[in-house]
Amino acid sequence: MSPEPIPKYIERGALRRANAREEATQEARRDPKAVARRIKAAAREAQVTPKAYIDGLATDKAKLTPPDGTKPISAFWSYGLKHPQAPLNDWSEPFLSQRFIAEEWATERNKTRPGAAQTLETTQGGRELDDMFLWEDEVIEALGGEAAGFEEGYAKATWAKISDTYAGLAEGRVIVFGQDADTRSILHQQELGALCKNPNVGLHNIHFAYEPDQKWPEVTRAEAGTDAVRAVAQFNDPTVPRYIDPHGFAAQAPEVRKAQIDGISEAFAPGQAEAEATKAPELQAPPKSVRTPLWQVGFKQPLKTTRAVTPTSVSRAGPVVDPALAPRPLATGMDGPA
Provide mean pLDDT across the span 109-131: 96
d(CA 316, CA 331): 9
| pLDDT at res. 102 | 96
Express as a percent the part of the chain with pLDDT over 70.
78
Amino acid sitting at position 313: S
Express as a percent the part of the chain with pLDDT over 90.
72
Number of C-alpha atoms within 13 angstroms, CB side, residue 193?
A: 15
pLDDT, tens digit (0-9, with 9 covering 90-100), for 228-255: 999 999 999 999 999 999 999 999 999 9
Task: Please state, as a whole number, how many other Cβ atoms lie within 10 Å of the Cβ of residue 328.
Answer: 6
pLDDT, tens digit (0-9, with 9 covering 90-100), for 279-329: 433 333 333 333 344 334 333 333 333 333 333 333 333 333 333 322 222
| pLDDT at res. 269 | 79
| pLDDT at res. 275 | 54
pLDDT, tens digit (0-9, with 9 covering 90-100), for 161-220: 999 999 999 999 999 999 999 999 999 999 999 999 999 999 999 999 999 999 999 999
Provide mean pLDDT across the span 265-276: 71
| pLDDT at res. 89 | 79
| pLDDT at res. 119 | 98
pLDDT, tens digit (0-9, with 9 covering 90-100), for 15-35: 999 999 999 999 999 999 999
Residue 64 has φ and ψ, to the nearest 5°, of: -115, -5
What rounded mean pLDDT belongs to the chain? 83
| pLDDT at res. 284 | 36
d(CA 139, CA 158): 15
d(CA 176, CA 190): 13
Residue 286 has φ and ψ, to the nearest 5°, of: -70, 155
pTM of the model: 0.81
Domain spans of the chain? Answer: 4-305
